[in-house]
Amino acid sequence: MSTLVAAAAGAAVLVASPASGAASTLAAAAQQSGRYFGTAVAANKLSDSTYVGILNREFDMVTAENEMKMDATEPSQGQFSYGNADRIVNQARNQGKRVRGHALAWHSQQPGWMQNMSGTALRNAMLNHVTQVASYYRGKIYAWDVVNEAFADGSSGGRRDSNLQRTGNDWIEAAFRAARAADPGAKLCYNDYNTDNWSHAKTQGVYRMVQDFKSRGVPIDCVGFQAHFNSGNPVPSNYHTTLQNFANLGVDVQITELDIEGSGSTQAQQYQGVVQACLSVTRCTGITVWGIRDTDSWRASGTPLLFDGSGNKKAAYTSVLNVLNNASSTVPTTPTSTTDPTGPTTTTTPQNPGGCTATYREGQKWNDRFNGEVTVSGTNNWVVTVTVSSPQRIIATWNTTATWPSANVMVARPNGNGNTFGFTVQHGGNWNWPSVSCQVG
CB of 108 to ligand G2I, least distance (A): 5
Number of C-beta neighbours around residue 418 at 10 A: 12
The whole-angstrom distance between residue 362's C-alpha and the CA centroid of its chain comes to 18
108 binds ligand G2I (CB under 6 A): yes
- Sequence-distant (6+) residues with CB within 8 A of 205 are 151, 152, 156, 157, 158, 159
74 binds ligand G2I (CB under 6 A): no
CB of 402 to ligand G2I, least distance (A): 48
Binding-site size for ligand G2I (CB under 6 A) equals 9
Q: Identify the bridge partners of residue 386 per DSSP, sorted by sequence position.
A: 410, 436
257 binds ligand G2I (CB under 6 A): yes
Restricted to residues 298-317, the positions that interact with ligand G2I (CB under 6 A) are: 298
346 binds ligand G2I (CB under 6 A): no
The whole-angstrom distance between residue 54's C-alpha and the CA centroid of its chain comes to 24
Closest CA to 240 of 323, 386, 154, 362: 362
65 binds ligand G2I (CB under 6 A): yes
| 65 or 196: CB nearest ligand G2I | 65
CB of 89 to ligand G2I, least distance (A): 16
| 102 or 365: CB nearest ligand G2I | 102
**DSSP 8-state assignment for residue 298:** T
Contact 277, 271 (CB under 8 A): no
226 binds ligand G2I (CB under 6 A): yes
The whole-angstrom distance between residue 3's C-alpha and the CA centroid of its chain comes to 20
Q: Which residues are catalytic?
A: 257
Q: Which long-range contacts (CB under 8 A, 24 or more apart) does 48-55 make?
A: 50/293, 50/310, 50/311, 51/292, 51/293, 51/296, 51/311, 52/91, 53/311, 54/292, 54/293, 54/307, 54/311, 55/95, 55/292
Each residue of 327-349: b (16+ CB within 10 Å) or e? Answer: bbbbeeeeeeeebeeeeebbbbb
242 binds ligand G2I (CB under 6 A): no
107 binds ligand G2I (CB under 6 A): no
| 136 or 298: CB nearest ligand G2I | 298
| 43 or 321: CB nearest ligand G2I | 43
CB of 266 to ligand G2I, least distance (A): 22
| 65 or 252: CB nearest ligand G2I | 65
CB of 279 to ligand G2I, least distance (A): 23
CB of 195 to ligand G2I, least distance (A): 12
Restricted to residues 175-214, the positions that interact with ligand G2I (CB under 6 A) are: 193
CB of 296 to ligand G2I, least distance (A): 9
| 69 or 365: CB nearest ligand G2I | 69
Taking CB under 6 A as the criterion, the residue among 31, 32, 33, 66 binding ligand G2I is 66
| 148 or 280: CB nearest ligand G2I | 148
109 binds ligand G2I (CB under 6 A): yes
**DSSP 8-state assignment for residue 337:** E
Instruction: Kindly report the length of the chain.
Output: 441
296 binds ligand G2I (CB under 6 A): no
Measured CA to CA, the distance from residue 126 to residue 147 in angstroms comes to: 11
Residue nearest to ligand G2I (CB): 298
At 335, the amino acid letter reads P
Restricted to residues 135-154, the positions that interact with ligand G2I (CB under 6 A) are: 148
276 binds ligand G2I (CB under 6 A): no
Q: Identify the bridge partners of residue 190 per DSSP, sorted by sequence position.
A: 147, 223
Q: Identify the bridge partners of residue 219 per DSSP, sorted by sequence position.
A: none
| 28 or 147: CB nearest ligand G2I | 147
CB of 81 to ligand G2I, least distance (A): 15
Instruction: Please state, in angstroms and as integers, the Cα–Cα distance from residue 11 to each residue in 15, 106, 331, 363, following that order.
Output: 10, 48, 14, 22
CB of 295 to ligand G2I, least distance (A): 12
58 binds ligand G2I (CB under 6 A): no
| 60 or 192: CB nearest ligand G2I | 192
Q: How far apart are the first and last CA of the chain?
A: 29
Measured CA to CA, the distance from residue 128 to residue 420 in angstroms comes to: 57
Strands of 133-208, DSSP E: 143-148, 187-192
Which residues are at the interface with ligand G2I (CB under 6 A)? 65-66, 108-109, 148, 193, 226, 257, 298
